[in-house]
Structure 1
Amino acid sequence: MTRLTKTTLFKSTKPRAETPMDKTTRAVTEILGEETEKRRIKTDRLRKARLEREANTLAETPTPTAKPSTARKKSPAKAARKS
């Protein structure tokens, strides 16, 4: 059995070189992350503006009063047919 020493126990591995595919993947991930963050910020801003506008619209409009319902009268021709 070999003797355990610092060099045999802890073998240093060389860092793997970044392939062009890895570079592309990293770049795409960064771009998509930035776009997602921008989209989230924009959505939050638009949602806040919409909610404020709806709150102002509801506060400004008076509550409608109930209108008396007007029953439609049947035309004389239809009334004559049923009699």
Structure 2
Amino acid sequence: MKPLAAEQKLDRTDAAARQIMNAEQAAREKKTARLRALRQEKEEAERAEAAKNPAPVKRAPKKGS
């Protein structure tokens, strides 16, 4: 049995929509991976910088009598 014209149109529309959504998801995942890698590099650089320059020791204020 031959599919109706309306069914064919729905199938094409559905396929196009799925293709668009899959492309958007792939782009989103690629962007997320790129941003995650940049964030990890930045955090690693900050840890290395903190290891080179430790924070000064804070002393408790003297209590006045």
**Alignment TM-score > 0.5, same fold:** yes
Q: Counterpart in 2 of 1:70?
A: 61
Specify every segment of 5 or more residues in structure 2 that has no aligned partner in the other structure, as ranges. none
Partner Cα distance (1:72, 1:32) in 2:
66
Deviation at 1:58, TM superposition (A): 1.4
The TM-score normalised by the length of structure 2 is: 0.76
Q: Counterpart in 2 of 1:49?
A: 38
Provide the identity percentage. 30
Partner Cα distance (2:22, 2:42) in 1:
30
| CA deviation vs aligned residue, 1:22-79 (integer Å, no higher than 9, x gap) | 11111000000001001100100000001101100111122213221104548xxxxx
Q: Which runs of 4+ in 1 moved over 2 A?
A: 14-18, 71-74
The TM-score normalised by the length of structure 1 is: 0.61
Q: Counterpart in 2 of 1:40?
A: 29
Higher helix proportion (structure 1 or 2): 2
Partner Cα distance (1:26, 1:71) in 2:
74
Specify every segment of 5 or more residues in structure 1 that has no aligned partner in the other structure, as ranges. 1-13, 75-83
Q: Does 1:21 align with 2:10?
A: yes
